[in-house]
Amino acid sequence: MIQASRDHSFENRREYYGAVLLLAVAVMLFWWRIWIPSPADRMHFTDDILIKDYPTRVGLYRSVLAGHIPLWDPSQFGGWPGLANCEAGFFYPFNWLLLPFTGSPETAFWVVEWMVLLHLLLSGVGTYRLARYAGLSTRGAMLAAVAFTFCGFHCAHKKHTNMIFTRPGCPGWCWRRNDGSRKRTRSMYSG
């Protein structure tokens, strides 16, 4: 019996990592322009990322590295909050990946692009796990993951990093909500 559960666990891990790999390949193929070598052809994320999000984050982290607490950012929009600016996402741990790259603008922008792709991948992985938890087959869960990862909302708002960076949490919130209501129901009727 223990051997059977180990085999089943291995099969689940293999299935899970296979799904993650397929989603990663799908993200890389769908957003192929990001990883091609020519910078002129690579420019895919523009608008808010290029004009607002990327410069704000790099500027705030440069201030911190210079020993200043960036309470106010006078360089954009006639000035706006620094640390308190929700658009900057200063305290978001993934944004800290920019710290080593603040001296190289091209590399820092490349890191922001890849962070968007990472969050799209995490959205798909979370959706896959939620769908499997809900009882969908492997194929059904993959279809759900692909549909969520490449939905029109994500594709249209790829330039709005704060929207994309919150998307991986959505499947987890649904999972915890559902799991919590199941536990309350069981405890309510169990005794």
Cβ atoms of 35 and 24 within 8 Å: the answer is no
- Enumerate residues 6+ apart whose C-beta is below 8 A from 121: 20, 23, 24, 27, 149
Bigger pLDDT: 158 or 136? Answer: 136
Q: What is the per-residue pLDDT across 88-140, written as a single tens digit (0 to 9) for each?
A: 888 888 888 888 988 888 888 888 888 989 999 999 999 999 999 889 999 99
* Amino acid making up residue 3: Q
Does the pLDDT value for residue 2 go beyond 50? Answer: no
Cβ atoms of 95 and 111 within 8 Å: the answer is no
Residue for token pair 């796990």: 129
Domain spans, the chain = 2-31+45-189
